[in-house]
A = this chain, B = another copy of it.
């Protein structure tokens, strides 16, 4: 009764990828998992490309209607960014697929409108708003894309100590750089810097700059 519908195939694929990673995924492996001939997958969802495209669509769905908590526009923008990031980190493998299929720009879309509304409340509009909006989006998505790869890389190789001369004065810095990167802290630092210029903004009293 493993009714081999398109939807249940996608579920199995997502599960397999989540467990073994994208690079370990094969059509034949998926077919085995489903107890089905490979070719039957082609009938239901199409080839690997179509299957991955559908997975990205799923991720896009999860990104829609994210909550924006906070009592001020700036706080809501930061909240939105953090919530988007959380989903992307939770769905690392789907994010990796979106990346390698050149679909990362689509990840902008789901929260674009909400972000724009919050910026409008701050009086940020037009090309200014577009720039800020994209800067935030690139920060969220690109740092998530890289974190995934970076964290996996950190498990294998030891630090290269030869790059630091032993007489470098700031021992605390050297020690900090030798311990693994806290990507959450790095992300928050960057996000805070990005929204800082928005903090001393008038409410929509007009559009005066300077």
Contacts and interface: CB of A to CB of B under 8 A. Distances in A.
Interface of A: 99-106, 109, 112-113, 116, 120, 125-127, 129-135, 138-139, 141-143, 145-147, 149-150, 152-154, 156-157, 160, 163-164, 168-170, 172-173, 176-177, 181, 183, 185-186, 189-190, 193-194, 196-197
Contacts of A105: 150, 153-154, 181
A187 to B, nearest CB: 8
Contact of A120 (B103, B142, B170): B170
A3 to B, nearest CB: 32
A60 to B, nearest CB: 10
Stoichiometry (number of copies): 2
Given A135-B190, A145-B145, A193-B196, 5 more contacts: A101-B153, A102-B152, A106-B153, A125-B173, A126-B173
Contacts of A101: 153
Contacts of A156: 102
A154 B108 CA distance: 12
A194 B197 CA distance: 11
Nearest to A181: B134
B109 A149 contact: no
Contacts of A163: 109, 112-113
A176 B130 contact: yes
Contacts of A99: 146, 149
Contacts of A190: 135, 138-139, 190, 194
9 contacts: A105-B154, A105-B181, A113-B168, A133-B177, A134-B181, A135-B186, A138-B183, A138-B186, A190-B194
